[in-house]
Amino acid sequence: MVNMWSLFDRIIDSCCALCHAPGHAICADCLSTLPLNTAPCTRCALPLPSGAPPDTLCADCQAHPPAFDRVVAPLLYQRPVDDMVAQFKYRQRLHLGQVMADTLGAAVGGQQALPLLLVPVPAGPQRLRERGFNQAAELTRRLSAALDIPWAGNRLIRASDTQTQRGLPRPQRRRNVRGVFSCAGPLPDHVALIDDVMTTGATAGEASRALKSAGVRRVEVWAVARTPRDRWNRGSG
């Protein structure tokens, strides 16, 4: 059975994951039409309403500054990015991870002061068993190689699986993840936390809080895509 699936995957992998044209991963046409997060909040990368002046903070960040200092999220989590992420995460199309890591790497490549360590948002033990891999660690490993920044998967620890965040309003998501992260081992002053998608920011905020409690001064969150507010009920972060 396993071999049959791997054969099936090899056939699928020779087509664009989005339009099924012959090729590999994502074809150039599909890549050029991925929705870009062009006018984000400078702190949390939430897409701002059209007409908002550039370099502004969203209302949430003004009212309750989050624990992270900055979020980089080059794509919007809507069609067809949601499809690409789902194929990577739930169907283990790992080569899509390279497309996602490249997209993220291009978005941070020109940055002046790069973080000294990349840390994936850890998966709970049960999620890890179900999926067989942590998608955030997979992206982190590839980014680390591309940007020549070390990564560590054992410094930020998730104590337990949390109830799925999907469909929960933000205050409940915050309660759901409160206290689940802890840190171990030495951490540098400047760290980037890596995830595939940032939804409300509750998980990233709590993980950043743990990193800061452990002495990290600056925490950036690097996510491939940010979920617009009107789609928060569909995402899981």
Binding stretches for Zn ion (CB under 5 A):
16, 18-19, 21, 27, 30, 41, 43-44, 46, 58, 61
Cα separation of 122 and 137, whole Å? 8
Q: Which is nearer to Zn ion, 41 or 123 (CB)?
A: 41
Contact 233, 171 (CB under 8 A): no
From the CB of 3, what's the least distance to Zn ion, in Å?
A: 28
Query: Angle 141-146-152 (CA atoms, 0-180°, nearest 5)?
Result: 30
Cα separation of 84 and 78, whole Å? 10
DSSP H helices, the chain, are 2-12, 28-32, 59-63, 81-90, 95-108, 125-131, 135-147, 170-177, 202-213
Q: Which is nearer to Zn ion, 36 or 149 (CB)?
A: 36
From the CB of 67, what's the least distance to Zn ion, in Å?
A: 13
Contact 76, 64 (CB under 8 A): no
Closest CA to 158 of 139, 133, 183: 183
* β-strands 70-72, 190-198 pairing: unpaired
From the CB of 27, what's the least distance to Zn ion, in Å?
A: 3
From the CB of 106, what's the least distance to Zn ion, in Å?
A: 19
* Cis peptide leading into residue 80 (ω within 30°): yes
Structure tokens of 162?
Answer: 């949390």
Contact 68, 60 (CB under 8 A): no
Q: Which is nearer to Zn ion, 120 or 201 (CB)?
A: 201
Identify the bridge partners of residue 76 per DSSP, sorted by sequence position.
226
Q: Which is nearer to Zn ion, 122 or 205 (CB)?
A: 205
Cα separation of 232 and 237, whole Å? 9
Q: Which is nearer to Zn ion, 123 or 202 (CB)?
A: 202
From the CB of 30, what's the least distance to Zn ion, in Å?
A: 3
Q: Which is nearer to Zn ion, 57 or 152 (CB)?
A: 57
From the CB of 57, what's the least distance to Zn ion, in Å?
A: 5
